[in-house]
Amino acid sequence: MSYNENLQAIEDKISEAAKKSGRDVADVHLVAVTKTVDIVAMEKLYNLGIRHFGENRAEVFTEKVEAFADKPDIVWHFIGSLQTRKVRAILPYTHFLHSLDRKSLADEIEKRATQKVACFLQVNISEEETKHGFSAEEAIAFVKAQNYERIEIVGLMTMAPNTDDEQTLHHVFQGLKAVQLEIEKLGIPNVPCHELSMGMTNDFEVAIEEGATFIRVGRALVEEN
């Protein structure tokens, strides 16, 4: 399949999942995860109308941002685990950071940022040892205790376990939604927390049914099969 066909197939699935759950497709933003492809491939995606791009490594992220400096309508998402010492390099280009997974990272962002940075708190709903992020309880405690000026918590992000068991996936995404609603309700300044970044190639339809507003899709878009 070509990128065009891949994109069509994904958009059809997004529409279907939105319809099934009575949601507006306009509320679901597709972030193209381009960590496995080069700039030429990204240009093709751009020409198909993709404007949200997600990368997970700081060096590659900044290289790609620089390569697309002539396309200011791109929205850049940093989705990977971020070392504190790399914060300074990526901040000027990051429209959304999906992987705010610890307080020390937030402290560094607050120190380095010159303007507000839109961040998702990464929450480890499935509590797998290998996954980064706050537990649900830690996330709530964190937003209550913080008073950053330059960090805006726009929402929550999670990675579901690698499984085809739909029930497990529904359960994880419902769990993130529940924490999102709880935090949103607190009405904390700089913590609007309206958004949900959840759903990847394996599980984005379930994530949409459970309220995802940003899905992060790599393989389904860029794999030629």
User: Residue numbers of the site for ligand PLP (CB under 6 A)?
Assistant: 33, 35, 56, 79-80, 159, 200-202, 216-220
Q: How far is the CB of 186 from ligand PLP (least distance, A)?
A: 26
Q: How far is the CB of 115 from ligand PLP (least distance, A)?
A: 24
Indicate the residue among 145 and 168 with the shorter CB distance to ligand PLP: 168
Q: How far is the CB of 200 from ligand PLP (least distance, A)?
A: 4
Q: How far is the CB of 81 from ligand PLP (least distance, A)?
A: 8
Indicate the residue among 13 and 190 with the shorter CB distance to ligand PLP: 13
Q: How far is the CB of 10 from ligand PLP (least distance, A)?
A: 10
CA distances for 132 relative to 81, 82, 119, 208, 216, angstroms? 8, 11, 15, 22, 17
Contact 127, 135 (CB under 8 A): yes
Q: How far is the CB of 187 from ligand PLP (least distance, A)?
A: 29
Indicate the residue among 132 and 182 with the shorter CB distance to ligand PLP: 132
Indicate the residue among 51 and 132 with the shorter CB distance to ligand PLP: 132
Indicate the residue among 144 and 219 with the shorter CB distance to ligand PLP: 219
H, E, C per residue of the chain:
CCHHHHHHHHHHHHHHHHHHCCCCHHHCEEEEECCCCCHHHHHHHHHCCCCEEEECCHHHHHHHHHHCCCCCCCEEEECCCCCHHHHHHHHHHCCEEEEECCHHHHHHHHHHCCCCEEEEEEECCCCCCCCCCECHHHHHHHHHHCCCCCEEEEEEECCCCCCCCHHHHHHHHHHHHHHHHHHHHHCCCCCCCCEEECCCCCCHHHHHHCCCCEEEECHHHHCCC
Indicate the residue among 147 and 206 with the shorter CB distance to ligand PLP: 206
